[in-house]
């Protein structure tokens, strides 16, 4: 049996009830302030209403869900569970190594200044 389909005029009421049930927090990131720009999230494959999210959380979730198949992710729930564990494990540098493309803020500033000096020198020449 299919769940009842909301009308557009019911969205705000359902969204507000969910915000209250969620304690004013985003159902995804659990941070407060979801009422500032809330989105009633739903599963695009089934239409099932899931929760109320920050607009930014909803946008990122949509990108992950819509692009997972492109990248060969067949079990998004397993990926999400693994992602959370992976990020928690690596919240500090446990390998003791730094990737060669990483730049500190000072290195970025020096590169910007060097580039700007070259541009100014070229303009002077010509």
Average pLDDT over residues 28-33: 96
Give the separation between CA 126 and CA 81, rounded to whole angstroms. Answer: 57
Residue closest to 39 by CA, chosen among 51, 30, 28, 47: 51
pLDDT tens column, 60-87: 999 999 999 999 999 999 999 999 999 9
Confirm whether 35 is domain-assigned.
yes
pLDDT band, very low/low/confident/very high, at 1 (cuts 50, 70, 90): low
Confirm whether 109 is domain-assigned.
no
CA–centroid distance for 43 within its chain:
17
Average pLDDT over residues 92-110: 96
pLDDT above 90 for 9: yes
pTM of this structure: 0.78
Confirm whether 87 is domain-assigned.
no
| Alpha helices (H) along the chain | 11-21, 55-67, 76-89, 105-125
Confirm whether 114 is domain-assigned.
no
The parent domain of residue 37 ranges over 8-75
Q: How many domains does the chain have?
A: 1
The domain that holds 12 is classified in CATH as 3.40.1800.10
């Amino acid at each position: 049996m299919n769940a009842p389909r909301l009308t557009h005029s019911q969205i705000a009421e359902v969204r507000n009830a969910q915000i209250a049930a969620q304690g004013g927090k985003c159902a995804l990131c659990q941070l407060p302030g979801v009422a500032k720009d809330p989105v009633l999230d739903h599963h695009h494959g089934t239409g099932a209403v899931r929760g109320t999210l920050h607009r930014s959380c909803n946008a990122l979730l949509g990108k992950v869900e819509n692009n997972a198949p492109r990248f060969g992710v067949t079990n998004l729930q397993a990926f999400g569970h693994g992602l959370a564990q992976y990020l928690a494990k690596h919240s500090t540098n446990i390998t003791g190594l730094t990737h060669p493309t990483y730049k500190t803020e000072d290195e970025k500033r020096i590169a910007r200044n060097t580039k700007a000096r070259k541009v100014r020198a070229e303009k002077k020449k010509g």
